[in-house]
């Protein structure tokens, strides 16, 4: 599981990495101050953080590619459906019925939402990659 325990004095802190990261450098600095209190396990905890960040970069890159492919497919569906609605004809040249046109408009709306969502997710993964790279760089500079 992606968590670890920091022990210091009589206290201890459980960090759920998936919920804590990605975070700002300021927040990481606060966590590093707490990690430094656990001087016996400090190096191990920092190494685990570094490994976790690298794993997250790989995961985000994989998801970014997946969302990119799905976005491209959704964009094509929007284009095809939009052409169908505007021309009111099937690709073979016959006209759509009123019900088919209503359904095509409804589908177009859904496809546009799906396209928007996938693009948003892809951008989020790109931001996460950059964030984790900055966190790794900070850890290396701080050590």
Structure tokens belonging to residue 119: 């693009």
Q: Is 51 exposed, middle or buried (0-12, 13-18, 19+ CB in 10 A)?
A: exposed
Q: What is the pLDDT of residues 21-61, one digit of tens each?
A: 999 999 999 999 999 988 889 999 999 999 999 999 999 99
At the topology level, CATH places domain 3-142 in Helix Hairpins (1.10.287)
Q: How far is CA 45 from CA 1, 10, 18, 139, in A?
A: 14, 18, 15, 12
pTM assigned to the model: 0.86
Phi, psi of 24 (to 5 degrees): -80, 165
Tens digit of pLDDT at every position of the chain (143 positions): 688 899 888 889 999 999 999 999 999 999 999 999 888 899 999 999 999 999 999 999 999 999 999 999 999 999 999 999 999 999 898 999 999 999 999 999 999 999 999 999 999 999 999 999 999 999 998 86
**What is the rounded distance in angstroms from the CA atom of residue 110 to the CA atom of residue 142?**
48
Closest CA to 107 of 139, 141, 81: 81
Taking the domains of the chain in order of start, what are their residue ranges? 3-142
């Amino acid at each position: 599981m992606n968590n670890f325990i920091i022990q210091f004095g009589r206290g201890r802190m459980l960090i759920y990495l998936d919920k804590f990261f990605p975070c700002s450098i300021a927040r990481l600095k606060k966590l590093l101050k707490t990690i430094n209190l656990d001087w016996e396990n400090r190096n191990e905890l920092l190494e685990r953080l570094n490994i976790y960040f690298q794993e997250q970069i790989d995961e985000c890159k994989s998801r970014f590619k997946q969302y990119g492919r799905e976005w491209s497919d959704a964009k094509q569906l929007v284009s095809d459906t939009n052409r169908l609605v505007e021309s009111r004809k099937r690709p073979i040249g016959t006209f759509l019925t009123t019900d088919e046109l209503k359904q095509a408009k409804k589908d177009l709306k859904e496809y546009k939402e799906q396209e928007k969502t996938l693009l948003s997710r892809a951008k989020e993964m790109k931001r996460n990659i950059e964030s984790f790279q900055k966190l790794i760089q900070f850890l290396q500079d701080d050590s």
